[in-house]
Every structure is written in C-alpha cells, then in structure tokens.
Amino acid sequence: TQLLEQSPQFLSIQEGENLTVYCNSSSVFSSLQWYRQEPGEGPVLLVTVVTGGEVKKLKRLTFQFGDARKDSSLHITAAQPGDTGLYLCAGDRNNQGGKLIFGQGTELSVKP
Amino acid sequence: EAGVTQFPSHSVIEKGQTVTLRCDPISGHDNLYWYRRVMGKEIKFLLHFVKESKQDESGMPNNRFLAERTGGTYSTLKVQPAELEDSGVYFCASSRAQGSSTEAFFGQGTRLTVV
C-alpha cells in the first residue's frame, strides 16, 4: 500500500507551460519535503513545509501544504528545460527528521 | 564541506554472493539513514543510526541485511547472501539533528544489481 500517492508519474510539457504535481495521503504528516533528483545523483532538498496551509515560493516554484497536513502540491510557472528531472515528495510522520516516507516521484520533461 | 559519499557507485554480483556498501556521512552529522529504491517502487526507509547506535531498523527487509556504524562515523550495509530482489539503488543520508526542520543530505546512491 502506497502511503503517499504522487501524481502524475510522468509529465512531458513544452517550455513556458505551467504544471502542478500532487502528493496525497490519508495520513497526517508533521512536515512534508520536496526533493529534486538528477540522474546518477541523490535527492536534493528543495523545500520543507511544516504548517497546515503553508505556502512557500522558490523562484518559479510554489509549494503548498494542505490545511490538514495530509497533502501537498508543487506548482511550476513557465517551466524551462532546466526544470527537467525527477521530483519527489517525502513526508515525516512523527517529527523524526530523516525517517521519511517517499512518493513514487514525478518524472518531468520540459521540451524547448 | 564534503557531502555524503557512497561506495561503490555500482555493483553487479551473482545471487548468493555477499556485497558490502559503504556510506561516509557529512562530518559532524550524528544521524545516518539508509534507504533503498527498487525498480518501479518508491524510495523506502531501511534504518536510522544515531552515532553508533541503531535508533530504528524497522525498514530492514530481513536478516540477510546487516548495517553497522562502528565508532559513529562511516556506515556499512552488508547483504549476505544476496538475492535477485535485492537489486535496486541504495541511498544513504545524514543529518546533524533530528526533527522536521532538519535537512537530510543524500549521497549519490549505490546501484546494486544481483544476477
């Protein structure tokens, strides 16, 4: 059973388009993290959201944590080819920091 | 500051053989985590060390897997004997402290293929 459902698994868009990636769960998380992973590398942390309803922005990326702390979204505005990569959400259920539950990931391809 | 490093980056072994993966965390990071991603599945937690002590090993698949962190520095993960289903990418991560606001830094992973 997948505790953290991430969708879509694959996304191919044109440069300049917007996109949203979703992570959903029936469980409450003390925090949720978004990572980006390049081929041959480990995941690199983009942002951590902690408070229900929290919104964080990182340049063209907007991260939101659901009010009930069960879901999160990543929105990219005006995607660029450099945004291509694997995006992962990961939840911390018990405020344990590094013990994370990962979603399956979203493989994003942005074509010029 | 050097990041988390893992050795080897790739390993191909035959079923029944033994393989040892190594992780060198960031210096000063007491917390060390092992994760694994098998083909088509999500990254899954294996275990957590605080210094040399196993804090949580609830994710270890079975007793063919043995993790150690002697002296609280680098860690090893030994698979003996390896089975086909052990193939995947093994990630190590380290963090200075625990808690939701603490960032865990990941190594590049070891890709293990059991044939």
pLDDT in tens, A34-52: 999 999 999 999 999 999 9
Q: Looking at the domain covering B5-97+107-114, what would its CATH class be? A: mainly beta
- State residue A1's pLDDT score: 61
Domain containing residue A58: 5-111
Residue range B48-74: average pLDDT?
94
Pair B110, B9: CB distance under 8 Å: yes
Residue among B35, B98, B101 minimizing CB distance to A48: B101
Q: State the Cα–Cα distance between residues A87 and A20, nearest whole angstrom.
A: 11
Tokens of A26: 């029936």
Q: State the Cα–Cα distance between residues A74 and A87, nearest whole angstrom.
A: 9
Query: Cβ–Cβ of B33/A98 closer than 8 Å?
Result: yes
Asked whether the CA dihedral B111, B97, A3, B57 is positive or negative, the reply is positive
**Per-residue pLDDT for B65 more than 70?**
yes
Tokens of A39: 């081929």
- State residue B100's pLDDT score: 62
Residue range B1-14: average pLDDT?
93
- State residue B38's pLDDT score: 95
CATH code assigned at A103:
2.60.40.10
* A21-to-A16, A80, B41 alpha-carbon distances in Å: 16, 16, 18
Q: What is the mean pLDDT of chain B?
A: 94
Amino acid identity at B84: L
Q: State the Cα–Cα distance between residues A81 and A109, nearest whole angstrom.
A: 7
**Per-residue pLDDT for A66 more than 80?**
yes
- State residue B40's pLDDT score: 86
Length of chain A: 112
Whether cis (ω within 30° of 0) applies to the bond prior to A112 is: no
> How many CB pairs lie under 8 A apart between chains A and B?
74
pLDDT tier, B50 (very low <50, low <70, confident <90, very high otherwise): very high
Query: Cβ–Cβ of B102/A98 closer than 8 Å?
Result: yes
- State residue A104's pLDDT score: 95
